[in-house]
């Protein structure tokens, strides 16, 4: 969710630049005012998405703290794990062969 919020912020910055450019073009008579309004509308939608995602992140932190019986004012820092592939698994294998190997290793995976 934090990555989505960062992406939303970057998109808003991009829309601000588009709005500046559109305003200059409108002032020069190169585009219609409706184009400026479209970009303003797009920027407003992106700001709404950012606020929605920030609220969702806050809600998720509150829910996590409640599940962990932590005080709500205590800060939680999430760390993205470093995931490494098992050296025994090759990505160019047939997916069915990979599933068959998984069942051989752990028969509980069979359906």
pLDDT of the residue at 97: 79
Three-state DSSP string of the chain: CHHHHHHHHHHHHHHHHHHHHHHHHHHCCCCCHHHHHHHHHHHHHHHHHHHHHHHHHHHHHHHHHHHCCCCCCCCCCCCCCCCCCCCCCCCCCCHHHHHHHHHHHCHHHCC
- Which residues lie closer than 8 Å to 1 by C-beta, 6 or more apart? 53, 56, 57, 60
pLDDT of the residue at 64: 93
pLDDT of the residue at 89: 61
Two structure tokens written together for 7: 């992406």
Taking the model in full, what pTM does it have?
0.68
pLDDT of the residue at 72: 92
pLDDT of the residue at 23: 96
From the first residue on, what is the mean pLDDT of each consecutive set of 10 residues in the chain (111 residues)? 92 96 96 96 97 96 94 89 72 72 83 65
pLDDT of the residue at 81: 84
């Amino acid at each position: 969710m934090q990555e989505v919020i960062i992406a939303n912020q970057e998109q808003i910055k991009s829309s601000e630049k588009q709005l500046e450019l559109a305003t200059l073009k409108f002032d020069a008579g190169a585009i219609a005012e409706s184009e400026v309004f479209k970009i303003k509308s797009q920027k407003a939608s992106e700001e709404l998405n950012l606020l929605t995602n920030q609220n969702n992140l806050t809600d998720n932190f509150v829910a996590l703290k409640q599940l962990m019986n932590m005080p709500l004012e205590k800060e939680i820092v999430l760390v993205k794990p470093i995931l490494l592939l098992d050296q025994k698994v090759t990505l160019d294998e047939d997916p069915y062969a990979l599933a068959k190997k998984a069942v051989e290793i752990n028969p509980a995976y069979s359906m």
